[in-house]
Structure formats: structure tokens, C-alpha cells
Homo-oligomer: A and B are copies of this chain.
Amino acid sequence: MRYFSNINTKTNYGNRGMVLESDINETNNYYLINNIAVIYKKPTPIKILHLDYNTNKITNAFFETQSTLDYNGVYKGRYIEFDAKETKSKTSFPLSNIHNHQIKHIENIINNDGICFLIVRFVSLDKTFLLFGQDLLEFINKEDRKSIPLSYFIDKCKSIKLKYSPRLDYLKIIKEFMEVK
């Protein structure tokens, strides 16, 4: 589900996650320029098997799985961390999208009072939701299901409408969340 923005070729990667990621990157850039928040995508972790010390060139390496979430940063002093997920399903969001070590990480962030969430896009329905980490953990603990139904998102989550600028104003929801708490 990750778009390797650091790959310097014109190859097509099947566009997995590309549109949502580009919406988020554009939004984060808007937040940065307008001094609203500083939020970055973390570099993709890479395991290096061989490095040529004369040229400092990496000649053998592979991608590692991120054990945390992809984006983090600061909004009004608060710690923000989230992941962006796309699904082609029209009915539910498969939990196989989230690894066990990421679940543990979400717990750790919440226990330390950080703000943690997923931005989930149902590509075929053109709908994007913000799912708070707390709700995700509660769902996983309560339910045996291997996916979260669309109806859950409609009932429990705020949807994020696409706009011209910023593209995907997810911090509007976070602002409300912080004011309520």
C-alpha cells in the first residue's frame, strides 16, 4: 500500500496507494507553508546488505516493513501519527492491511497521549474516512471480524471531503477532537 516516492524511475508500480498519498502529501505541504502543522512521511526503512565504501553506493538492499505508521509530526504542540490506507472493496476495510506490530505501536502512542489514526479510502466509492486509533483498537478487541464494514465507517467515523486546497483537510477533524477532550 506504499508508494515509494524516492524511486527515480518512470516505472508504473500499479498505482497502489498513490492517489491518496499524493493528496496527503499535498495537504501536508499546505499545512507546512501556512504554518498550521509540520507533518512528514517517514522514509521507507531499507535493509542494506552491501555498501561500497569507496563510492558510498548501496548495491544490495531491500525494503523493510515499517513497524510504525507512515506519517508523523506536530499540530498545536501535540504529537500526531497516522497511516493512509486504500481499499478497492466496496463493502469493508480488510484488517490484513494493518500488521500486529502496528497495532501494538498504536496502543503505545495512545497510552502516551499521542493522537493516532488511519485515513481510509474506499477507492471504488470515492469516500475517505478518518478512523481514530482508539476506535480501531476497540473494534479489534470486540469483534471477531477480519474486516471493518463500510457501515461502521459511516456510523462511527468522520468522512473527509476532497477540496481544492488543502486537498484533504484531516486536521479539521483532529482540531474538533482536541477541543472536545
Contacts and interface: CB of A to CB of B under 8 A. Distances in A.
Interface string A36-61: 11101011111111110100111111
Contacts of A56: 62-63
B47 A77 contact: no
Interface in A62-116: 62-64, 68, 72-81, 105, 108-109, 111-114
Contact of A112 (B4, B42, B74, B105): B74
Given A8-B47, A43-B45, A53-B11, A108 B32 contact: yes
Contact of A43 (B11, B32, B43, B105): B43
A15 interface: no
Contacts of A38: 105, 108-109, 112, 114
A63 to B, nearest CB: 7
Interface string A10-51: 010000000000000000000010011110101111111111
Interface of A: 4, 6-9, 11, 32, 35-38, 40, 42-51, 53, 56-64, 68, 72-81, 105, 108-109, 111-114
16 contacts: A4-B51, A6-B47, A6-B64, A9-B51, A35-B111, A35-B112, A36-B112, A38-B114, A43-B45, A46-B58, A46-B61, A57-B62, A74-B109, A76-B112, A77-B78, A78-B78
